[in-house]
């Protein structure tokens, strides 16, 4: 049987007002054959995880440019664990210093991407993760 289609939710927590980057990534994932639930701007961690539960997604992708990545990623991860989504991938992008990335990785958060990463890298990463985490 063919691999099941990967379902991803893309959201932008926090108050900063641009979702161009998030939309570009969402479109790229769609073109790579994924089903992408797009939540849009200014989502609270609670709202994101609530939607992720209803959509039963494989992957949550956050776009965070506001600098508040530590709190947002940790909070979303905490809520995911609480709501039974501990086995799903939390990943995302923004301008996130390497040392913060390391800390977030320790907290169980997946790879984080920056402006220098190309879209194919993100697609490959999600595909590889999905393949190695069947459910």
Partner 1 sequence: MKSKIEFWDDFFKGSRLACARLITKVENAPALVPEIRDRIIPCLRGAVRIGITGPPGVGKSTVTASLAGLAVKAGRKIGIIAVDPSSPFTGGAFLGDRVRMQNLIGNPNVFIRSQASREGHGGLSPTTPYVADILDAFGFERILIETVGVGQAELDVLGCADLVVLVLQPGTGDVIQALKAGIIEVADLILVNKADMPGLESLLDALKFLFDMNARPKAKPIPPILTASALNDQGIDELQAELEKLIEGQASSGFLKQKKLARLEGEIKAAIQNEIWEKFRAAAGPEADIAEAAKRLDDDGRSPYDYIRDLGRRVSLKFTTENPHGEHRP
Q: Does residue 5 touch partner 1 according to CB under 8 A?
A: yes
The verdict on 70 binding partner 1 (CB under 8 A) reads no
**Would you state the structure tokens that stand for residue 33, as one six-digit string?**
């054959």
Regarding 36 and contact with partner 1 (CB under 8 A), the answer is: yes
Which residues lie below 8 Å from residue 76, measured CB to CB, with a gap of 6+? Answer: 13, 45, 48, 49, 60, 62, 90
Among 16, 55, 78, 81, binds partner 1 (CB under 8 A): 55
Q: Between 31 and 124, name the residue whose CB sits nearer to partner 1.
A: 31
Contact by Cβ (8 Å): 83, 47: no
Residue 69: which of 89, 49, 98 has the closest Cα? 98
Structure token pair of residue 77: 């991860």
The interface mask with partner 1, positions 72-101, x = CB under 8 A, is -----------xxx----------------
Contact footprint for partner 1 (CB under 8 A): 4-5, 7, 26-27, 29-40, 43, 46-47, 50-51, 53-56, 83-85
């Amino acid at each position: 049987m063919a691999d099941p289609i990967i379902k991803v939710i893309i959201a932008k927590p926090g108050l900063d007002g641009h979702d161009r980057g998030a939309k570009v990534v969402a479109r790229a994932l769609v073109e790579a054959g994924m089903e992408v639930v797009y939540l849009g701007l200014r989502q609270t961690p609670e709202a994101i995880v609530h939607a992720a539960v209803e959509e039963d997604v494989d992957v949550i992708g956050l776009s965070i440019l506001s600098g508040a990545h530590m709190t947002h990623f940790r909070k979303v991860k905490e809520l995911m664990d609480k709501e039974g989504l501990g086995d799903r991938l939390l990943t995302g992008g923004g301008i996130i210093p390497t040392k913060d990335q390391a800390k977030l990785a320790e907290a169980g958060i997946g790879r984080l991407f920056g402006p220098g990463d190309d879209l194919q890298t993100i697609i490959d990463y999600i595909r590889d993760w999905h393949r190695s985490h069947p459910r």
